């Protein structure tokens, strides 16, 4: 007890001035002495669970913690005699880390570039659609300097944006499944209920000209006039998986712009194109009534990645085929391995013409969000997606660096001609280019 009487802990909010009287009668300030009424190990456990962001622990020099006690070892290792120990919440740590990274990125910007990024950022977080559109155009640019500016803008948005307030959903399906028609009806229903909706529609790019029609918006005439909705069509640009190279970045900007529901409409895809599943909270697969049989449903690929399967065009003469395919997919999904411990993929029938099943589908989406958030799986999924996103960007950058490497660029035309003439196999030509790249790179940056 003598040890307890000599030990006091002062708890202060980190925003208060340093010099304040130890004894304060203000009830709304955490500036009171706390004498330990029970052993340290129980007191500290409770203290560490409190919601305050920052604590300053000041131990008097007369305090001696016994090294033999397991709860005293952290203090022994830090030598906390007359020392301040600061504990930061995870959110504050993340924010400080992001701000430090942002400072490093902005040091190389000119005044004009800094004003440009600040203008986009300010307009974006204020919900101005014109600035959101300009920001997405910036991240889609392939110009090297604009890429750097885009990263600075994304870092600023990361500092601002709060992660759990939005729900991102990827909508995918084969061509003609009715994705755009469904989004038109579904989006109007959401905006009428007070939600802010963003639609990132990906259009296929021509493999010959490289151009893209960007025609998805024409099927959403009513939704495109809604001030609580933002529709952004983007070309796939040769990116596989039904999405664009910058879909992840565009999602982040839409979240920063205050849109609480974000729909990503992919191009018409096949069984192996499900890249959007690594970008969204919920992956929804839309299938027409003539979507195959039960065997088609149990094939591995896009079906096993779906969190919700919707059979579209369930109206008129197609109601009977829609019911049949729904029953077959319900049976097929039972044979697939579960992706979640708390959610089992559902199969619903919907009609964007009559509105049948749309409300029930939204209820299923909300149920999915609540279950995944409560279990912690949604946060874990988002963290895993961040890692996948990082490696995708690395692969893209490495390939671009390889193509633009001086030695490789010189040898590409010659080796391509030999491959075309049949004098050299494609595999051997690739090995020669890789060896040239490795040799030159090691000469410039030798391996230690």
Q: What is the CATH number of the domain that holds 154?
A: 1.20.5.170
Domain contains 41:
no
User: Where residue 267 falls among pLDDT bands split at 50, 70, 90?
Assistant: confident
Q: Which residue has the tokens 């604009």?
A: 146
Do residues 222 and 160 share a domain?
A: no
Q: Which of 358, 375, 392 is the last residue of a domain?
A: 375
Do residues 159 and 238 share a domain?
A: no
Do residues 351 and 311 share a domain?
A: yes
Do residues 120 and 255 share a domain?
A: no
Domain contains 50:
no
Q: What is the CATH number of the domain that holds 346?
A: 3.40.50.300
pLDDT of amino acid 51: 44
> Of 338, 362, 340, 358, which is closest to residue 349 (Cα–Cα)?
358
DSSP of 59-122, one letter per residue? Answer: --TT----TTSGGGHHHHHHT-TT-------HHHHHHHHHHHHHHHHHTT--HHHHHHHHHHHH
pLDDT of amino acid 239: 66
Domain contains 80:
no
Do residues 280 and 195 share a domain?
A: yes
Return the higher-pLDDT residue of 135 and 407: 135
Do residues 337 and 238 share a domain?
A: yes
Least confident of 14-28, 129-143, 334-348, 364-378: 14-28
Do residues 420 and 278 share a domain?
A: no
3-state secondary structure of 140: helix
pLDDT of amino acid 99: 58
Domain contains 42:
no
Do residues 191 and 242 share a domain?
A: yes
Mean per-residue pLDDT over the chain, rounded:
75
Do residues 341 and 411 share a domain?
A: no
Q: Which of 164, 191, 208 is the last residue of a domain?
A: 164
Least confident of 70-74, 110-114, 139-143: 70-74
Do residues 289 and 358 share a domain?
A: yes
Q: Which of 328, 353, 375 is the last residue of a domain?
A: 375
Residue 101 structure tokens? 């990274």
The answer to whether 264 and 240 have CB atoms below 8 angstroms apart is no
> Of 274, 265, 141, which is closest to residue 198 (Cα–Cα)?
265
Domain contains 22:
no
Q: Which residue has the tokens 């600061």?
A: 86
Domain holding 427, by residue range, is: 405-444
Mean pLDDT, to the nearest integer, of 60-77? 41
Domain contains 361:
yes
Least confident of 127-141, 394-408, 414-428: 394-408
Domain contains 71:
no
Q: Compute the distance between CA of residue 40 and CA of residue 344 in angstroms, rounded to an integer.
A: 45
CA atoms within 13 A on the CB side of 259: 29
pLDDT of amino acid 57: 39
User: Where residue 291 falls among pLDDT bands split at 50, 70, 90?
Assistant: low
Do residues 140 and 202 share a domain?
A: no
Q: Total structural domains in the chain?
A: 3
The answer to whether 203 and 216 have CB atoms below 8 angstroms apart is yes
User: Where residue 101 falls among pLDDT bands split at 50, 70, 90?
Assistant: low
Do residues 131 and 191 share a domain?
A: no
Mean pLDDT, to the nearest integer, of 145-154? 90
């Amino acid at each position: 007890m003598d040890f307890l009487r000599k030990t006091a802990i002062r708890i202060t909010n980190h925003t208060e001035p340093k010099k304040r009287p130890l004894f304060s009668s203000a009830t709304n300030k955490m500036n009171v002495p706390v004498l330990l009424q029970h052993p340290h190990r129980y007191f500290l456990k409770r203290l560490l669970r409190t919601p305050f962001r920052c604590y300053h622990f000041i131990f008097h020099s007369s305090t001696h913690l016994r090294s033999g006690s397991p709860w005293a070892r952290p203090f022994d290792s830090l030598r906390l005699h007359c020392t301040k120990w600061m504990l930061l919440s995870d959110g504050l740590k993340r924010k400080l880390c992001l701000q430090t990274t942002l400072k490093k990125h902005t040091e190389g910007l000119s005044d004009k570039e800094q004003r440009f990024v600040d203008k986009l950022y300010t307009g974006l977080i204020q919900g101005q659609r014109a600035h959101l559109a300009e920001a997405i155009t910036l991240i889609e640019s392939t110009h090297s300097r604009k890429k750097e500016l885009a990263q600075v803008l994304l870092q600023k948005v990361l500092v601002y944006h709060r992660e759990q307030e939005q729900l991102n959903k990827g909508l995918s399906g084969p061509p003609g499944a009715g994705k755009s028609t469904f989004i038109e009806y579904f989006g109007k229903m959401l905006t009428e209920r007070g939600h802010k909706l963003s639609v990132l529609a990906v259009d296929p790019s021509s493999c010959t000209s490289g151009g893209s029609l960007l025609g998805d918006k024409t099927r959403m005439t009513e939704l495109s006039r809604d001030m609580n909705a933002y529709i952004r069509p983007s070309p796939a640009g040769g990116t596989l998986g039904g999405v664009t190279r910058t879909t992840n970045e565009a999602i982040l900007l839409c979240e920063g712009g205050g849109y609480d529901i974000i729909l990503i409409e992919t191009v018409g895809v096949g069984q192996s194109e499900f890249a959007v599943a690594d970008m969204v909270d919920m992956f929804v697969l839309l299938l027409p009534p003539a979507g195959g049989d039960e065997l088609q449903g149990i094939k591995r690929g896009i079906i096993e990645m779906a969190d919700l399967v919707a059979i579209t065009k369930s109206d008129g003469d197609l109601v009977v085929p829609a019911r049949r395919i729904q029953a077959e997919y319900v049976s097929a999904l039972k044979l697939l391995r579960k992706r979640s411990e708390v959610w089992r993929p559902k199969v619903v029938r919907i009609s964007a013409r009559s509105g049948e099943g749309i409300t029930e589908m939204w209820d299923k989406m909300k149920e999915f969000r609540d279950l995944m958030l409560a279990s912690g799986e949604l946060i874990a999924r988002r963290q895993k997606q961040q890692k996948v996103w990082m490696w995708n960007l690395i692969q893209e950058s490495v390939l671009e660096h390889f193509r633009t490497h001086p030695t490789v660029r010189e040898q590409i035309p010659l080796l391509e001609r030999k491959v075309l003439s049949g004098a050299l196999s494609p595999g051997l030509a690739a090995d020669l280019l890789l060896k040239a790249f490795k040799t030159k790179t090691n000469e410039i940056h030798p391996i230690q």
